Copies of this chain bind each other. A is one copy, B any other.
Amino acid sequence: MRQIIDERTGGTVRPPCGAEPHGATMRIAAHVTVLHEGDPARRIMEVVDGAVMLTKLLPDGRRQVVELLGPGDVFGLAHADAYACSAETLTPATINTHERGALERDPVLAARLLRRFEAQLCVMHSHALVLGRMSALERVAFFLLRLMPDGMVGTTLHLSMTRQEIADFLGLTLETVSRAFSELKRRGLVVLQRADEVRIQDRGSMRRLAGAA
């Protein structure tokens, strides 16, 4: 329960005191749980900087990482006034929070969120295709391409997720993810400088594997 402890020790994770009109920015350490699935949904949040993952749990403990968020992405969504997902930082992050009521009062904010929701919904659609129809190797290839912006070709990508977190994102087990990394390495599509530092060697083959991501 690393994240719980961190949340208590890392004092940055308090809701702002309320003096702000409707926005407040906070700086949060890595591996901190910002929101808990099921808690009353009072605020909506924007990632300014860093990476955040949203997770859902089944009663028996099975976990799914449902979304990976970066700068600009929005979280803290509610179903029946409760947060639908837990949110945990993957890296140190800067997060902007708004009271939910601000959505009605601030049309500029609403317009920004609308655009962002559309983008996130499209990403979720792609992810459904990945989870529903792709093999383990294809999923991992897709995952790596998704993290590697087209511009930075040949550069080294730092994964800020463990094999378990990647597995929970891709609907696999950590062993299967590890085997997929080894297979991609064996085929010469990627190079692993360390377990969490990847370089894509053959982007064409990766794209083909991932089904033109």
Mark A residues whose CB is within 8 Å of B. Answer: 54, 56, 58-60, 62-64, 66-67, 77-79, 84-85, 103-104, 107, 110-111, 113-114, 117-122, 124-129, 131-134, 168-171, 211-212
| Cα–Cα distance between A106 and B125 once the two chains are bound (Å) | 26
Question: What DSSP secondary structure best describes chain A's contact surface?
Answer: helix
Closest B residue to A120 by beta carbon equals B121
List the B side residues contacting A62 at CB < 8 Å.
133
Q: In the bound complex, how far is the Cα of B161 from the Cα of A210, in angstroms?
A: 28
Residues of B within 8 A of A122 (CB): 77-79, 84
Chain B residues whose C-beta falls within 8 Å of the C-beta of A107 in the assembled complex: 107, 110
Chain B residues, CB < 8 A from A119: 79
Query: Which residues in B have their C-beta under 8 angstroms from that of A126?
Result: 56, 84
Q: Contact at A133–B63, with CB atoms within 8 Å?
A: yes
A113 (CB) vs chain B CBs: closest residue: B114
Contacts of A110 in B (CB 8 A): 107, 110-111, 114
- On chain B, the residues within 8 Å of A121 by CB distance are 77, 117, 120-121, 124
* A171 and B132 contact, CB distance less than 8 A: yes
CA distance in complex: A118, B103 (Å): 12
Which residues on the B side are within 8 Å of A63 (C-beta)?
133
- From B58, B103, B171, B212, A131 is in contact (CB under 8 Å) with B171
Report whether A133 and B77 are in contact in the complex, using a CB–CB cutoff of 8 Å.
Answer: no
Whether A211 lies near B58 (C-beta < 8 A) is: yes
Question: Which one of B60, B64, B103, B111 contacts A132 once the chains associate, using CB atoms below 8 Å?
Answer: B64
